[in-house]
Amino acid sequence: MNKAMDIERWGIFELALTGPEVGNPFLDVTLQAEFRQGEQSFQVDGFYDGNGRFLIRFMPNQEGNWEYVTRSNVAELDGRSGQFTCVAPSPDNHGPVQVHNTYHFAYADGTPYFPFGTTCYAWTHQGRELEEQTLATLAQTSFNKLRMCVFPKDYVYNKNEPEHYPFVRDAAGTHDFTQFNPAFFHHLEQRLADLARLGIEADLILFHPYDRWGYATMTPEEDFRYLRYVIARLAAFRHVWWSLANEYDFLLDDKPMALWDQFFQLVQEADPYGRLRSIHNGRIWYDHHKPWVTHVCVQSSAVKKATEWRDTYQKPIINDELEYEGNNPVGTWGCISAHEEVHRFWTMVTRGCYAGHGETYVHPEDILWWSKGGVLHGESEPRIAFLRGILEAAPGGLEPMRHPSSTSWDRISGSQNGAYRLFYFGEYQPSAWAMGLPEDVPFTVDLIDPWNMTITRLPHTFHNAAQIDLPGKPYLAVRIQSAA
């Protein structure tokens, strides 16, 4: 029996074992452990980490004593038992993010989580200097989620070779899809740990179509083996989310729709912790009604449909690609203004949904944030941070206002039990507005300028259908809160 040790709640207990190196341990050795505390038990897959080293990682969800025992088809790995003590989490450890109240998110300890993410698809494939610069940039932003690919990316502005490859390669560059490259995963795990220290959730994209190495055209058997290996290695990281693909429908010729269902089911079955699961579309939306989808990730510029999406799927909505701020000439998806990026964020969030940022300003060395990271050049990020602060100061996630009276704004608005209301006027520019408030409750009214990031409290409280004067310019918001 191994020596006991202390692991914080929602931390990672790692069991390292020495086993055989003969043959192909990635294929020939099976390893699993059961972790038990009272009536609660988890079945956790182990994995081969190279050089005769086998690992099992486990995230305890309750404080107290845990016991484990291994099962393997190899004698020296089978029946190994031990225990450890799970202690209280550190102050910044709130546990994994989960769906909360149908349309929103919260950490496992109940702390609300509002996703304000960004996209850096291939940032972990850029070498130490640029990766460290990306982390330094993220540390100065308000982003708390990052969309990122496991595999390297081949696309316009993305033609460099990665430092590490996920599979073993021979001198001619031929991949052996039966042997994973531990050095690749060690590097990925280090970058995941870096994000965790910054309080950033890692939305890991498992497949994507932008490939020249053969990862996008692996066989189903190879795909399944890859998924099981990634889940065994990374599921214990409490801040990992699973995104089955970026623009999955561009892979349909090689991976038909039924196979995507199987991928989802495998991820759901193999992940003992039930991490968040989504999939990202190009032109064809996946059926997000399916039970293995925990939240809806979409690519769409049609942000005014946010409430419709919410009602259709009855799940949290994150428009992770509402098009990107930048001047990318490749397509309209990468050349909206910072003003428009901020406008689309406000439209999504005020309707009780969420959004994701991206930036694609052309760079002389092809270092575009959306793929490689580096530094930000645009103007939307501080204004997105301003919106995050407004939402986090609210009582909870917003719900769309559905039946406004004739004196209420009926377009982009959200509330919490009527005591907190946020109205966003968008492109409309009224010069006056009648609010339609209850007669017996006083309310404070704030005029918000999302671009200039100002909040102006009007000088007295309001009741009933009191009318307020507005500046008559677009892209303003009004926040109303009970003063009782």
Q: What pLDDT shows up at residue 412? A: 80
Q: Which of 215, 200, 66, 78 is nearest to 144 (CA)?
A: 200
Q: What does the pLDDT average to over 289-308? A: 97
**What CATH code is carried by the domain that includes residue 475?**
2.60.40.3950
Asked if residue 96 has pLDDT above 50, the reply is: yes
Query: HEC profile for 293-323?
Result: CCCEEEECCCHHHHHHHHHHHCCCEEEEECC
Residue with tokens 């990992």: 240
Asked if residue 2 has pLDDT above 50, the reply is: no
List Cα–Cα distances, 278 to 203, 265, 293, 431, in angstroms.
9, 12, 6, 42
Q: What pLDDT shows up at residue 266? A: 98
Distance CA 447, CA 429 (A): 13
Q: What pLDDT shows up at residue 441? A: 86
Q: What pLDDT shows up at residue 434? A: 83
Asked if residue 10 has pLDDT above 80, the reply is: yes
Q: What pLDDT shows up at residue 25? A: 98
Tokens at residue 432, please? 């006056």
Tell whether 334 and 424 lie within a shared domain: no
Distance CA 359, CA 354 (A): 17
Model confidence at 413, pLDDT cuts 50, 70, 90, reads confident
Q: Choose the weakest-confidence range: 209-223, 335-349, 428-442.
A: 428-442
Mark which of 339, 357, 392 sits at the end of a domain.
392
Does residue 400 or residue 10 have the better pLDDT? 10
Contacts of 22 (CB under 8 A, 6+ apart): none
Neighbours of 77 (CB within 10 A): 22
**What CATH code is carried by the domain that includes residue 237?**
3.20.20.80
Model confidence at 407, pLDDT cuts 50, 70, 90, reads very low
Q: What pLDDT shows up at residue 463? A: 82
Tokens at residue 295, please? 């939240």
- Domain residues for the domain of 434 are 404-482
Q: What pLDDT shows up at residue 4? A: 56
Contacts of 448 (CB under 8 A, 6+ apart): 390, 454, 455, 456, 476, 477, 478, 479
Distance CA 102, CA 398 (A): 12
Tell whether 345 and 464 lie within a shared domain: no
Based on C-alpha coordinates, what's the Rg of the chain?
A: 24
Tell whether 267 and 349 lie within a shared domain: yes
300: in domain: yes
Tell whether 78 and 133 lie within a shared domain: no
Asked if residue 317 has pLDDT above 60, the reply is: yes
Mark which of 326, 360, 392 sits at the end of a domain.
392
Model confidence at 411, pLDDT cuts 50, 70, 90, reads low
Tell whether 325 and 412 lie within a shared domain: no
Q: What does the pLDDT average to over 334-346? A: 98
Asked if residue 42 has pLDDT above 50, the reply is: yes
398: in domain: no
Distance CA 300, CA 280 (A): 10
Model confidence at 437, pLDDT cuts 50, 70, 90, reads confident
Mark which of 371, 392, 413 sits at the end of a domain.
392
**What CATH code is carried by the domain that includes residue 20?**
2.60.40.10
Q: Choose the weakest-confidence range: 339-353, 410-424, 468-482.
A: 410-424
The structural domain count of the chain equals: 3
Tell whether 62 and 103 lie within a shared domain: no
1: in domain: no
Q: Choose the weakest-confidence range: 106-110, 285-289, 439-443, 451-455.
A: 439-443
Q: What pLDDT shows up at residue 300? A: 98
Distance CA 462, CA 470 (A): 15
Neighbours of 471 (CB within 10 A): 12
End-to-end C-alpha distance for the chain, whole angstroms: 61
Asked if residue 163 has pLDDT above 60, the reply is: yes
Asked if residue 406 has pLDDT above 70, the reply is: no
Asked if residue 198 has pLDDT above 70, the reply is: yes
Q: What pLDDT shows up at residue 226? A: 98
Q: Please give the angle made by the CA atoms of 173, 255 and 47, to the nearest 5 degrees.
A: 60
Q: What does the pLDDT average to over 300-325? A: 97
Q: What percent of the chain has pLDDT above 90?
A: 89
Q: What pLDDT shows up at residue 402? A: 73
Q: Choose the weakest-confidence range: 128-137, 322-331, 410-419.
A: 410-419
Tell whether 172 and 224 lie within a shared domain: yes
Model confidence at 401, pLDDT cuts 50, 70, 90, reads confident
Q: What does the pLDDT average to over 303-327? A: 97
Tokens at residue 287, please? 């059926």
Distance CA 390, CA 338 (A): 19
Tell whether 144 and 115 lie within a shared domain: yes
Model confidence at 440, pLDDT cuts 50, 70, 90, reads confident
Q: What pLDDT shows up at residue 466? A: 78
Distance CA 317, CA 299 (A): 11
Asked if residue 305 has pLDDT above 80, the reply is: yes
Q: What percent of the chain has pLDDT above 70?
A: 97
Tokens at residue 145, please? 């989620």
Tell whether 103 and 81 lie within a shared domain: no
Tokens at residue 444, please? 């404070």
What burial letters (b/e) apply to 189-210, b meaning 16+ CB within 10 Å? eebbebbbeeebbbbbbbbbbb
Tell whether 241 and 164 lie within a shared domain: yes
Tell whether 158 and 259 lie within a shared domain: yes
Model confidence at 364, pLDDT cuts 50, 70, 90, reads very high
Q: What pLDDT shows up at residue 408? A: 43
Model confidence at 410, pLDDT cuts 50, 70, 90, reads low
Tokens at residue 110, please? 């109940």
Tell whether 63 and 197 lie within a shared domain: no
399: in domain: no
pTM for this one? 0.96
Q: What pLDDT shows up at residue 417? A: 78
Q: How many residues does the chain have?
A: 484
Asked if residue 370 has pLDDT above 90, the reply is: yes
Partnered with residue 14 across adjacent β-strands are: 57
pLDDT digits (tens, 9 = 90+) for 222-246: 999 999 999 999 999 999 999 999 9
